[in-house]
Structures are given as C-alpha cells and as structure tokens.
Chain A
Amino acid sequence: MSKSFVELNDVKLRYSEGDELALETTNMKIDKGEFIAVVGPSGCGKSSLLKLVSGLMPPSEGNVIVDGKEVSGPLKIVGMAFQNPTLLPWRTTLDNVLLPMEIVKPHRNRLRKHRAEYEERARKLLATVGLEGHEDKYPWELSGGMQQRASLCRSLIHEPDLLMLDEPFGALDAFTREELWDILQNLWMIKPFTVILVTHDLREAAYLADTIYVMSKRPGKILVERENTLPRPRDQETTFTQPFTDLVHELRSHIRDVREA
C-alpha cells in the first residue's frame, strides 16, 4: 500500500485552553491524488479540520503529517476556496486568478519577467471553467456562479498538491452547482491532486469523492468512513442510478443518527 499523503494521528482540538473539545480523537489517512469529502451537521468542526491540515491552526493533541513532514505552521502551497468567493474587487478576473503567483515561490520571482506566459496559463484555466471572454471583467460584473469559478481557478492556478474546499458551491443554485461539480471533476481527472471537500450536500459528496467521512455533532468525531467506488467520470445520469441513490440514502441515515444522538 502506498504511503498516505495526509495523515491525522490522534488529533484533538480545543480552541483555547480549558475549552471543551471541538474535535475528538481523529484519525485520517488520505492518499496522494485522493478526493475525499467530509460531511456532517453544521458546527461539527468540519472547517476546523481544514485549518488543521493546512497548518493554520495547531492541533491541541496528536499530530498532522502532510507529505511525510509534521505540519508546524501554514503549509506554503495549499489551494483554498470557500463558500464566499473572496475575490479582490479592485482586480480583474485575470489578476485575481494570478494572485497566488505573486505569493508562491518560485513563481513570485518569475512573474514579472514571464508575465505573458503566466497570463496564458491563467486564460487557459479560465477557459476550462467556461470563463473565456470574462478575463478583464471585475468581480462585481460576474454572477455568483462565475465568481465561484474564478475562485476555483485561483485555488488551482499554482497547481497545488492539496486543495481545500469549504462548501464552495453552497451558495449557488442547483444547476450551477451541478455544472461546477463536473468542472471540478474534469480538472481533477486531467491531473489528480489531493482534495479535501467539506460539504453538507450529500449528493455532492457522493458525486465527487472517492472516500466520504461522516462526522458527529460537536465535539466532532469521524463516525463512518465510506468508500465510494462509483465509476468515473460520473455525470448527470449517474445521479439517477440505484447505487448512487443508495449511497445518498445510506449517508442520510448516518446523518439522521448523528443528529438524533
């Protein structure tokens, strides 16, 4: 078996000394290029999990290992996208997507000289999410779905090994959301990167993930680890097949148990 890319070993988290636990003993192993989803009731510490793995928050106990090294501070090349697209309003779509290039090494030192090359790369990426022709628009000129696409491009432009998605499609209408599932799946299938997706949309988890973790109410704890072997690429039709609906049902019943517990 290949060595895991991300490992959580007996991780516990409290926000401050003496607080009750936000995250109860958690163990996780994520392979390189694996797409995992974490589902659970709101306030169960799903987002904290992302912060732990990306090193934005240290665990109170246990350790987090990414790429063979223990995480002791913010990792340097993680891509992140949130429910709120958080684009910079004074930058065009293209410049927003290029933001990570101004920060991540070695790109930050190369950007000025090789600007055209980087712009080309950003344009290509924007085209794959259907934003061709919108590169020079400002965020307020884009719809919510388009902003979220741009945000997704920003999180991927530097080709991160690890992508963290915190309910990135939560604020979108159902059609846009399912369109973006396909876009994300495509990008991931072309060149697999490791993804941790936090969501409360069970269909989203079933559509996208290889492994789905169900978390309990606070203090958060992983109750179920469910592999999802539905063949890829998954598409609209997949969502109407028996195995897909069975999987969503199963997840739903886990969540029901969690909420009633």
Chain B
Amino acid sequence: MKKKLNLRKATPWLSAIGLFVLWELIVRIFNIPPYVLPTPSESIIVGWQFHEAIWMHAYHTLYTTLAGFAIAVVFGVVLGALVGSSRAIYDAANPLLVGFNSVPKVALVPVLVMWFGIGTVPAIITAFLISFFPIVVNVATGLATLEPELRDVLRSLGATRRDILIKVGFPRAMPYFFASLKVAITLAFVGSVISETVASNVGVGYLMLSASSKFNMPLVFAGLLVIAVMGIAMYEIFNVIERRSTKWANRGNPTN
C-alpha cells in the first residue's frame, strides 16, 4: 500500500523528466538548430545565466496574474451568485456572457492600452477578463442545480431566499467553485502573458518577445518553462485547498 502510494507520488515527476529526456534526444538525434528548437538543457542553462532578470520578470507576471485572478474571483462569485439564484438574471446575462467569452481577449489588449497605457494595468485586466468566465459558470451551476425537494423542505420551514443560499446554496456550490479556480488560475496566466507580450516592458511575456527578437531561442523557452512552472504551482495550491475544504464531495477520500 505504502509502496503504491509512493509510486503514485513519483509518477508526475517521472513523466516530466521523461518528456525532457525525449525532447533532448529528438533535438540531438535530428540535429535541430537551437534557433528553431533549443534543447531543454540549453534552455535551463540560459535560464540560470539570466536568472536575476527572469526572477524580476516572473515576479511581475505572477503579481499581475494574481491581481487579475483575485478580481476575477470576487466578480465571478458575485455574478455567479446572481445568475445562479435568479432565472431572470440568468436569461438576461447568459447571451452577453457567452458572447463576451467568445471574443479573443488578445483583441482587447489594444483597446485597454488606449485606455490605460501600456504596462501593468492592461495585463491585470486581461488576466481578469479571461479568467472570470469559468468561475461565473461554475458558481451559477452549483447554485442552480439545488434539488427542488430540498428547496421545498426549507421553504416550508419558513426559510428566506437568503437562508437557502447560505445554508445550502453556497456550501453546495463549493466544489464547483474550487474546480473553477483551478481552470481560472491557468487562464489568468494566459491573459497576463498575452498582454505583456503585446504591450508591456516588463513581465515574462515581454522577456520572451525581446529574447525572440534577438534570436535567443533558449531564453524564450526558459521563459515558457517559468510560466509553466508557475502555472503548475498555482494549480496545485488550489488543488490542495479544494481537497481540504470540500472533503465531503470526495466522500472523505483525499486521494480521489
């Protein structure tokens, strides 16, 4: 049992290392030039050489991402609660939300730049815009799928709408909410990096753009790796929070 658990824990590391080994081998065997595809070892070495600059840019990206994400969580929960608890608001908001979500957010960056100038603000807003949608949808779904019998039980006890929302709606929506956070945080990275690439002079997106303009492909890939690592770390943090706070949804089984 213990052995099996250890193996399970090791699996993600093994698969990551396997991917790097495969990548390294392919580049070496087919002799791919580094300006097309650098080896992972090269990328990591270059990444280490520039680690101070990368650290500064990565820190900035993390900050804009989390700022945008935080706004998305607040906005998403409020809008999700409204949409999920009222049929009329759902009908009114749904087409707008879907339409808005279909607009590629990269197309909005120039608009944001016109309004706020280049730099941090458009990156935060892009991260927010791209990541709030799944939160709204999941919170609304969690609230709207309340069993009608349960609602009847509560209403015939004299429960107000607010009672029902607090006692049943929100606790019931928690697993949906946390599941959406995992999706939203990775999307927030997409948003901030896009905006940094188009209109900023700081952040990993900007770093990669400027590295590629100098044909420094290993540094570009080092930037990609940094974003991926930050994404995984954030995802894992929310994964742990989810498992701890909604144990009941996994029937008390934390490894599920």
Contact = CB atoms under 8 A, between A and B. Distances in A.
Nearest to A102: B167
A100 B154 CA distance: 8
A103 B167 contact: yes
A88 B168 contact: yes
Given A89-B248, A138-B248, A84 B147 contact: yes
Interface in A151-186: 154-155, 158, 164, 166
A103 B156 contact: no
Interface string A20-58: 000000000000000000000000000000010011100
Interface in B143-170: 147, 149-150, 152-159, 163, 167-168
Nearest to B247: A90
A80 B153 contact: yes
Contact of A78 (B156, B246, B248): B156
Contact of B154 (A51, A75, A103, A166): A103
Contacts of B168: 88
B251 interface: yes
Contacts of B34: none
A223 interface: no
A99 interface: yes
B18 interface: no
Given A77-B157, A103-B159, A82 B149 contact: yes
B155 A86 contact: no
A224 interface: no
A56 B158 CA distance: 11
Contact of A104 (B149, B158, B171): B158
For chain A, the bracket of interface size reads 20 to 34
Interface residues of B, number: 22
Given A51-B152, A86-B150, A100 B157 contact: yes
A104 B157 contact: yes
Nearest to A92: B248
Q: Chain B interface secondary structure, helix, strand, loop or mixed?
A: helix
B158 A105 contact: yes
Interface string B212-256: 000000000000000000000000000000000010110110000
Contacts of B167: 99, 102-103
A259 interface: no
A76 interface: yes
Q: Which of B156, B168, B248 has the most CB of A within 10 A?
A: B156
Interface string A180-198: 0000000000000000000
A151 B252 CA distance: 21
A84 to B, nearest CB: 6
A74 interface: yes
Given A56-B152, A99-B167, A103-B167, A89 B249 contact: yes
Given A74-B158, A78-B157, A100-B157, 12 more contacts: A56-B155, A79-B156, A80-B152, A89-B249, A90-B171, A103-B159, A104-B158, A138-B251, A140-B252, A154-B153, A158-B157, A166-B149
